[in-house]
Structure 1
Amino acid sequence: MSKVEIFEPAMCCPTGVCGPGVDADLLRITAIVGELVSMGKEIERYNLTDSPEVFVQNPKVNDALINIGMGALPLTVVDGEIKKMGDYPTNSDLVSWSGMTREDVIEMIKKSQSASGCSCCGGGDCSDSDCSGGDCC
């Protein structure tokens, strides 16, 4: 299993909800990382405000910040190698890098659907005319 580390710019909270506007990408990252961690995947998020020492202690991250500046963040490291800079990884990236199997992905989707109360229309209202008996549209 791979170790995934996400180095984030300075912010007051990991979801971005505490600022003047909601950052949808931060909400997405928070949700997918939480789900993957709950499945036993090794993913860490480091915020420059809370953990500046981690940024300095990682030579590749430190070099990126020195040479590129704050534009390098967010920066994703997988097993010690920089995989993405300047943007958050996609859900697909995180699933792949965390070593998930097809079965793991299916289990994650099932868990997400059961938590939403409905598996049709992306977790929407099953009484919707496009849904029939809880099947996906």
Structure 2
Amino acid sequence: MCCSTGVCGADVDQQLITFAADLDWLKSQGVTVRRINLSQEPTEFAANPEVNALMQASGGDDLPAVLVNDKLVSRAKYPSREELANWSRVVVKHHETAPQLDTCCTYDTNSNCG
């Protein structure tokens, strides 16, 4: 992996893009987020007892791992924005559906339809 987010290079995994965006969103909500990448910071990564135990048990097959307040809350998948928000006690405001344009016209000499 060439960078701490994994969002680099020519063939980027969409899950990494989504997860990086979700972490940025979480930060914008005032949540302190610290991402430690095994390939970039192996010593610090393995220094965490929860992560170290996970690595010993699975050999890394359970990565990625997400910890909240030093407690393992997710492993072996990238969590959704909703999961991240739930663990952080942040409310996700779902955007309203964009209004649908009325594509049906009736013939009217004063309209642009015709």
Q: How does 1:12-51 map to 2 (within 5 A)?
A: 12-13=2-3, 14-18=5-9, 20-51=10-41
* Code of the aligned partner of 2:101: S
* Code of the aligned partner of 2:63: L
- Among 88, 94, 98, the alignment partner of 1:120 is 98
Partner deviation per Cα, 1:12-69 (whole Å, 9 max, x = no partner): 1214331x42200000011111111022112221111221122222111001101111
* Code of the aligned partner of 2:15: D
Query: By percentage of residues, which structure has more helix?
Result: 1
Match of 1:66 in 2: 56
5+ long unaligned stretches in structure 2: 103-114
TM-score by length of 2: 0.76
- Among 48, 51, 54, the alignment partner of 2:44 is 54
Report which of the two structures shows the higher radius of gyration computed on alpha carbons.
2
The DSSP-based 3-state class of the residue aligned with 2:61 is helix
Distance 2:22 2:101 in 1: 28
5+ long unaligned stretches in structure 1: 1-10, 114-118, 122-130
Tell me which of the two structures has the higher relative contact order, counting C-alpha pairs closer than 8 angstroms and 6 or more residues apart.
1
After superposing on structure 2, the runs of 4+ consecutive aligned residues of structure 1 that deviate more than 4 Å are: none
- Among 75, 78, 81, the alignment partner of 1:91 is 81
Distance 1:35 1:16 in 2: 16
* Code of the aligned partner of 1:83: V
Number of corresponding residues: 101
Instruction: State the identity as a percent.
Output: 29
TM-score by length of 1: 0.64
